Amino acid sequence: MKTTRRNLFKFVGGTAAGALLTPAPWRLITDTALWSENWPGIPRPARGEIRARFTHCTLCPAGCAVRARCVNSQPVSLTGVRPHPISQGALCPWGIAGHHLPYHPARVRQGPLKEALAEVARAAAERGAGERVAVLDLRPGRTVSWTYRRAMAAIGNGLYLTPRQPAYAIDLAAAKTVISFGAPLFDGWGTPGNVFAARAGFKLFQIEPVESRTAALADVWLPIRPGAETAVAGALAGETTPADAARAAGVDEGAIGAMKEAAERGPAVVLAADPASPLMRLNAKLGALGHTVVARREAPVPDAWKKAAPATEVSAAPEGAIRVLLIDESLAGGYVPWREIAPKLAANAVVVVFTSTGEGYARHARYVLPAPVFPEAAEDIGPAIDTPAAVFRIAAPLVTPVVPVATPGELAARIAGLAPGDALRERADAIHKAGRGTLLSYADGKSTPVKQASADDFWKTLNQGGCWMDDSGKKEAPGKLESSAAAEPPRDDLPLAVVVAEARRDGLESPLLSKLDRESNLRMAAGRVALSPADARSNGIENGGRCVLDTGCGRLSAVARIDPGIPPGVVEVVGGPRVADLCGAKSRARVVRA
Amino acid sequence: MIGGKIAFASGMLVALAGGWLAFPRILYQTRPEPVDFSHKIHAEKAGAKCEDCHSFRDDGTYAGIPALDKCSGCHTVAMGTTAAEKNFIDNYVTPNREPAWLSYARQPENVYFSHAAHVKLGHLKCEQCHGNEGGATGLRPYQWDPISGYSRDIWGRPVDRIGLRTAGGMKMDDCVDCHRRQGLEYSCLGCHK
């Protein structure tokens, strides 16, 4: 056989054909893909010893117990803790991805700390007789909240401000009937594990115009007309007949009658989307006080702390009197719309916000300082709304702060000249001294009466993710159920009732979650509004088109989604500070084409 | 014409031989383990069980390959006259230096695997995934693929994965197949970080 050019090509062709019949090319394709996973610049978790550490999530007031799988000391995954008596092993998607937050690209990473401190000290020293220094605490009930209160008492004429806070707790396990006026019971209300553990024991009537996730999972959903909650509440209170309420709300009379009957049979509880809503007064009529609605209990505090400043709702603060306002927005909690805060500020007020996100008060403050995020800071978490027992649990840090952070509690204490100390340790010692309750250690799942643990062991266990719980006390009726906040009067030029969905959009969230929910349309993304086809048509709005939400308090540019599941007369918006600044509890709006 | 067919067939034969015989040898690099450890001797003479050395910690996490402390409890001095024993004592126990064991079953960076879930809840035997390592008189050389960075045990012994025994590999497909057979859940975040 001669070596010709043609034969050479045939040899090469044969080689190529033969190669396809071997594993080599197919394996090399896989290997090349895997090789690309190891290119420089691709983040790789450290190799090292695997350890489990325990802490509590601070992303919402539920404070679920967290088991962190750590490589060396770096957390690489978070899960719930099964023996936890409240969170019952559950952890929501935000909690599962919580360890990503310190590295979030949108995190506030730097701020003029020295300049802010100097300006606050100057303004506090120069303030006039009627001018006040104030702290706004968005998550009251923590030990640092007591530090703020002590600081404001020490500073003289100081104000400790909070959002509207319910003074009650709900004992879902004791309820056989739950009547919810739009409360997102299965979508972020209370402690998810606790709610789902109690689910089999109660019948849920969900009253709201839109079929929310909770409405979809309720035993009975009453799709009322927007704003007809008062009529339904009147029927439950016996002030109107079920027939009248059904006519006003546009629902079946039989459903209202059945709900009233179940509520009267008891034990029942009424919940509202706004925990401070006047609808909560129904609980008194249904005999729920002291049974399913009980006074909120707090863990003991040192005696020396009890001369602290009282908590004041922002609405009760004097107008134009606040010269220095420190806002602790480090943990998501109740957001007070800026339009309620602005009138309380003096003309030359210094506003300093401690935050991790530029979305909230950072838009209004003179100084924005980076605050620690979960799981960087040692914090305690008070009882959630569905926890009748007093609890004390510490979010032990899992990582050291990855940016230089300013701790608001330390700063407030420094401004007031409080003696430096470890407030968490002092509180733990006070709880230990009281000698009540039990201490649960997650690592071994053991419960120990506090009396049997030494003060040091008690503190050590708390820092290893333990939880103190005092459920021995008698149930007491709460003092106050509703807030004095008045509902906004209806306006003819604002034809749509605003329904806030996705209320937990007030902080950072892992980019992984954005991929899982918002980009897949499982949840509405920020900057979107949902309208019924009829309302969209009448305003010339197209699906996916730009529109403007106008509430009379302000305007927000958004992308419209036309949803046949939204009834006419309703606009559904995504929660968050920007929307809270625009929309009150009973807000109305109009949506126009941009 | 015939010459052309011969050329084509020759090319095919060369490629087939290269792909089936030479490629697996070229693909994998081989490295010896630092110590010639015999599972069999430890099981038979010392009566050790898998979990005596490959244990779970109190917090439920899996300790993996035992640290030197575990070995030096018995091997404070040489327990025999073999070259392997001398190497172990002289190079590791006496200078208190951890052997750099090469793990055959290490999963890639983007995956975590819970031994506790599989052993304690699933009641799997060690051999079901790792083969009969406990009966081996020595440690086989560690083979790894320098392109992907994975151990050969992850892919499975046959380079084409044809005739792979049950649980003969530790790729994602193998995990999913086993979960599917057992009627268990399998979702992305179950294993991927």
Range name among A467-476, A501-510, B5-14, B34-43 with the lowest pLDDT average: A501-510
Kindly determine whether residue A24 and residue B18, on different chains, have CB atoms separated by under 8 Å.
yes
Can you tell me the distance from the alpha carbon of A416 to that of A408, in angstroms, rounded to the nearest whole number? Answer: 12
Chain A residues within 8 A of B148 when measuring between CB atoms = 30-31, 34-35, 38
What pLDDT was estimated at residue A252?
92
- The secondary structure element, H or E, covering residue B86 is helix B83-88
Mean pLDDT across chain A: 89
Percentages helix, strand, coil for chain B, rounded to the nearest 5?
A: 45, 5, 50
Mean local confidence (pLDDT), A72-97? 89
Q: Tell me which residue of A498, A501, A536 sits closest to A517, measured CA to CA.
A: A501
The CA–CA distances, whole Å, from B79 to B42, B44, B74, B76, B136 equal 12, 15, 8, 9, 19
Kindly determine whether residue A15 and residue B15, on different chains, have CB atoms separated by under 8 Å.
yes
Q: Tell me which residue of A418, A486, A389 sits closest to A169, measured CA to CA.
A: A389
Give the pLDDT band (50/70/90) at residue A506. Answer: low
What pLDDT was estimated at residue A586?
60
Kindly determine whether residue A27 and residue B159, on different chains, have CB atoms separated by under 8 Å.
yes
For tokens 């709610």, the residue is A195
Q: Is the dihedral angle over the CA atoms A505, A507, A513, A514 positive or is it negative?
A: positive
Instruction: Confirm whether B154 is domain-assigned.
Output: yes
To the nearest whole angstrom, how far is the Cα of A492 from the nearest Cα of chain B? Answer: 50
End-to-end Cα, chain A, rounded Å: 79
To the nearest whole angstrom, how far is the Cα of A190 from the nearest Cα of chain B? Answer: 25
Kindly determine whether residue A444 and residue B58, on different chains, have CB atoms separated by under 8 Å.
yes
Instruction: Confirm whether B142 is domain-assigned.
Output: yes
Can you tell me the distance from the alpha carbon of A202 to that of A191, in angstroms, rounded to the nearest whole number? Answer: 16
Asked if A529 and A591 touch (Cβ cutoff 8 Å), the reply is: yes
The token duo for B181 is 């057979």
The vertex-A241 CA angle with A236 and A244, nearest 5°, equals 110
Higher pLDDT, B46 or A404: A404
The token duo for A323 is 């010269």
The per-residue pLDDT string of chain B (193 residues; one tens digit each, 9 = 90 and over) reads 677 889 999 999 999 999 999 998 999 999 999 999 999 999 888 888 888 899 888 777 788 889 888 898 889 888 888 899 999 999 999 988 889 999 999 888 788 888 989 998 899 988 888 888 888 888 999 999 999 989 999 988 888 888 777 768 899 999 999 999 999 988 888 888 6
Kindly determine whether residue B19 and residue A34, on different chains, have CB atoms separated by under 8 Å.
no
Calculate the CA dihedral of residues A504, A506, A510, A516 and round it to 10 degrees. 40
Give the pLDDT band (50/70/90) at residue A116. Answer: very high
For tokens 């038979």, the residue is B44
Q: Which member of B3, B14, B147 has the closest CB to residue A35?
A: B147
**pLDDT tens-digit profile of A13-71?**
999 999 999 999 999 999 999 898 888 888 776 777 778 899 999 999 999 999 998 88
To the nearest whole angstrom, how far is the Cα of A43 from the nearest Cα of chain B? Answer: 10
Residue of A nearest to B192 (CA): A77
Instruction: Confirm whether B183 is domain-assigned.
Output: yes
Can you tell me the distance from the alpha carbon of A270 to that of A297, in angstroms, rounded to the nearest whole number? Answer: 20
B159 close to A (CB below 8 A)? yes
Rg (CA), chain A: 28
Dump strand ranges (E) for A223-292: 268-272
To the nearest whole angstrom, how far is the Cα of B148 from the nearest Cα of chain A? Answer: 5
For tokens 């006419």, the residue is A568
DSSP string, A377-419: S-EEE---TT--SEEEEEE--SS--SS----HHHHHHHHHTPP
Q: What amino acid is encoded at A420 in this protein?
A: P
Instruction: Confirm whether B95 is domain-assigned.
Output: no
The token duo for A581 is 């600044």
CB atoms within 10 A of CB B148: 21
A24 close to B (CB below 8 A)? yes
Q: Percent of chain A beyond pLDDT 90? A: 62
Chain A residues within 8 A of B193 when measuring between CB atoms = 45, 76-77
B148 close to A (CB below 8 A)? yes
Domain with CATH 3.40.50.740 in chain A: 113-166+298-470
Kindly determine whether residue A22 and residue B20, on different chains, have CB atoms separated by under 8 Å.
yes
Can you tell me the distance from the alpha carbon of A174 to that of A364, in angstroms, rounded to the nearest whole number? Answer: 43
Interface test with B, best of A22, A35, A70, A81 (most B CBs within 10 A): A22
What pLDDT was estimated at residue B128?
86
pLDDT at A203 over 90: yes
pLDDT at A583 over 80: no
Can you name the CATH fold of A496-593?
Barwin-like endoglucanases (2.40.40)
Mean local confidence (pLDDT), A339-351? 94
Mean local confidence (pLDDT), A215-233? 93
Domain with CATH 3.40.228.10 in chain A: 168-293
Q: Which member of B2, B9, B189 has the closest CB to residue A14?
A: B9
Chain A residues within 8 A of B100 when measuring between CB atoms = none
Kindly determine whether residue B10 and residue A11, on different chains, have CB atoms separated by under 8 Å.
yes
Domain with CATH 2.20.25.90 in chain A: 50-103
Give the pLDDT band (50/70/90) at residue A554. Answer: confident
Mean local confidence (pLDDT), A160-186? 92
What pLDDT was estimated at residue A491?
66
Domain A113-166+298-470 top-level CATH class: alpha beta
DSSP string, A453-500: S-HHHHHHHHHTT-EEEE--SPP---S--S--PPPPPP-TT--EEEEE
B32 close to A (CB below 8 A)? no
The CA–CA distances, whole Å, from B13 to A9, A128, A179, A499 equal 15, 96, 78, 72
**pLDDT tens-digit profile of A268-303?**
999 998 888 889 989 999 999 999 999 988 899 999
Mean local confidence (pLDDT), A159-179? 92
Kindly determine whether residue A45 and residue B193, on different chains, have CB atoms separated by under 8 Å.
yes
Indicate the number of domains in chain B: 1
The token duo for A312 is 């004041």
Instruction: Confirm whether B18 is domain-assigned.
Output: no
Domain A168-293 top-level CATH class: alpha beta
A48 alpha-carbon distance from chain centroid: 34
Can you tell me the distance from the alpha carbon of A325 to that of A160, in angstroms, rounded to the nearest whole number? Answer: 10
What pLDDT was estimated at residue A489?
60
Chain B residues within 8 A of A12 when measuring between CB atoms = 11
A216 close to B (CB below 8 A)? no
Provide ipTM, 2 decimals.
Answer: 0.85
SS3 category, A352: strand
Chain B residues within 8 A of A21 when measuring between CB atoms = 12, 15-16, 19
pLDDT at A474 over 80: no
pLDDT at A485 over 60: no
A40 close to B (CB below 8 A)? no
B27 close to A (CB below 8 A)? yes
B177 close to A (CB below 8 A)? no
Chain A residues within 8 A of B4 when measuring between CB atoms = 6-7, 10
Kindly state the DSSP code that residue A437 receives in the 8-state scheme. Answer: S
Q: Taking each helix axis as running N to C, give the angle between helix A143-155 and helix A408-416, from 0 to 180 degrees, rounded to the nearest 10.
A: 20
Q: What amino acid is encoded at A82 in this protein?
A: R
What pLDDT was estimated at residue A486?
52
Kindly determine whether residue B64 and residue A27, on different chains, have CB atoms separated by under 8 Å.
no
Show the domain range for B150.
Answer: 103-193
To the nearest whole angstrom, how far is the Cα of A73 from the nearest Cα of chain B? Answer: 14
Q: Which member of A13, A16, A24 has the closest CB to residue B23?
A: A24
Instruction: Confirm whether B133 is domain-assigned.
Output: yes
- The secondary structure element, H or E, covering residue A427 is helix A423-434
The token duo for A269 is 């509880």
Kindly determine whether residue B112 and residue A76, on different chains, have CB atoms separated by under 8 Å.
yes
Can you tell me the distance from the alpha carbon of A370 to that of A353, in angstroms, rounded to the nearest whole number? Answer: 9
> pTM, whole model, 2 decimals?
0.79
Residue of B nearest to A53 (CA): B59
Asked if A488 and A337 touch (Cβ cutoff 8 Å), the reply is: no
Q: Which member of B12, B110, B112 has the closest CB to residue A18?
A: B12
Kindly determine whether residue B18 and residue A22, on different chains, have CB atoms separated by under 8 Å.
yes
The token duo for B177 is 């197949």
To the nearest whole angstrom, how far is the Cα of B133 from the nearest Cα of chain A? Answer: 23
B110 close to A (CB below 8 A)? yes
Can you name the CATH fold of A50-103?
N-terminal domain of TfIIb (2.20.25)
B108 close to A (CB below 8 A)? yes
